[in-house]
Amino acid sequence: MAAILSTTAVQNARGATHMLAGICLFSVMDAMVKWLVADYPVHQIVFFRTVFALIPCLYFVARLGGLAALRTKRPLVHFVRGIIGLAAMGCYFYAFALMDLADAKAILFSAPLFMTVLSIPLLGEKVGIFRWSAVLVGFLGVLVILEPGAEMMQVGALAAIGGAVLYALAMITVRHLSATDSAAAITFYFTLTGAVAGTAMVAAFGWVTPTLTDLALLAGVGVIGGVGQYSLTQAFRFAEATAIAPLEYMSMAWALLLGYLIWSDIPELEVFIGIALVVASGLFILYRERRLASVRISQLPRVRIR
C-alpha cells in the first residue's frame, strides 16, 4: 500500500510540474496575444496560433503512438469541437484587445461554472444544492468584476463571457471524445481544424503584413501555445485530475503580474473581490466533483476473488 501511495505521489508531482509549465507558457502566450492584437486582426493571430502550433503538435503525436494514435470513428465530432474551440479562442483574443489582461482572465475563469450548468441538459448530470450555490457565488463574482450598469454591457466583457461559454461547450465535447479517442487525436484534430479555418479566414478577411519582430512573436504564439497544450496534456496523463486542476488558477497570478509589468495595470478592489469569488466557487465545484466521484467508486459492487 505504501508503495502504491508513493507511486501515486510521484506521478502527481510529475503531473504538477507539467501543469505549472503549461500554465506559465499559456500565460506568456496570452500576454503576447494582448500585445499583438493592438496591431493585427484577431483572425490573423488565430491563424498563427493554430498553424505554428502544428509543429509541437506533430511531435506530440509522434511521442504518443504516431498515426495509430490519430485513429477515430468520430471525425464530425472532432470538427464540431474544433469550430467551437476556435470560436472560443477568437472571443478570448478579442476580449484581450479591449480589457485588462487580469479582468478578462477572471471572467474566462467562469467557464467551469458554465460547464456545471450545461452538463445538466447535455450530459444528463444532476447538480445538487451545494454546486448550485457555488455556481451562483461564481456568477456573483463575475457581476462584481463587470460592475453592473453601463460598463456591464461593454463589448470586451461580452466577448469574454462568450468565450467562457464556448470553452465550456468545447470541454463538454472533449468529455465525449475522450471516451473513445486519445488525447493526441483530440489535440491534433483541434489544431488541424483551427489551421484550416484560420487560413480560410485570412483569405476571406485580409492580411496585415507583420514586421520581422512581430512575425517572430506571431509564430511564437503558435509554438508556445502548442508546447503549452502538450504540457497540460502530459500533466493530466501522469497525475490525477483532481490533484492538479486547482493549479490552473495560478494563471490568474501570472495575469496580474504580467499585466502590471507590461501595461502597468492595477485592478480595482472590486476586481480582486470578484476574482476571489470566481476562484473560490470553481475550487468548491472541483472539490464536490471529487467527493462525488469517490462516492460513486465506493458504491461499485465488490468482486470476490476465489
What's the pTM value of the predicted model, to 2 decimals?
A: 0.84
48 near 217, Cβ under 8 Å?
no
Report yes or no on 306 lying in a domain: no
* pLDDT per residue of the chain (306 residues) written in tens, 0 to 9: 444 445 677 777 888 888 889 899 999 999 999 999 999 999 999 999 999 999 999 988 888 788 888 989 899 999 999 999 999 999 999 999 998 898 888 888 888 788 878 877 876 777 778 777 878 888 888 878 776 554 545 888 889 999 999 988 988 888 788 788 888 888 899 999 999 999 999 999 999 999 999 999 999 999 999 998 888 877 777 776 666 777 777 888 899 999 999 999 888 888 888 888 888 887 887 777 666 555 443 443 333 333
Specify the residue for cell string 503549452: 228
Cα-to-chain-centroid distance, residue 221: 15
Q: Identify the pLDDT of residue 184.
A: 85
CA 172 → CA 116, 166, 221, 255, distances in Å?
Answer: 10, 10, 25, 26
Report yes or no on 305 lying in a domain: no
Q: Identify the pLDDT of residue 50.
A: 94
Report yes or no on 303 lying in a domain: no
146 near 157, Cβ under 8 Å?
yes
Fill in the amino acid letter for 239.
Answer: A
Report yes or no on 196 lying in a domain: yes
Q: How far apart are CA 124 and CA 119, in angstroms?
A: 6
Q: What cell does 297 get?
A: 467508486
Angle between helices 183-205 and 155-178 (to 10 degrees): 140
Q: Identify the pLDDT of residue 6.
A: 57
Q: How far apart are CA 151 and CA 97, in angstroms?
A: 16
Q: Identify the pLDDT of residue 299.
A: 41
Please state the domain count of the chain.
1
Instruction: Say which residues have a Cβ less than 8 Å from residue 84's Cβ, sequence separation at least 6.
Output: 166, 169, 170, 173
**Which structural domain, as residue segments, surrounds residue 283?**
2-298
Q: Identify the pLDDT of residue 115.
A: 80
Report yes or no on 152 lying in a domain: yes
Q: What cell does 177 get?
A: 471524445
Instruction: Say which residues have a Cβ less than 8 Å from residue 60's Cβ, sequence separation at least 6.
Output: 184, 187, 188, 226, 229, 230, 233
Report yes or no on 304 lying in a domain: no
Report yes or no on 246 lying in a domain: yes
Q: How far apart are CA 45 and CA 36, in angstroms?
A: 8
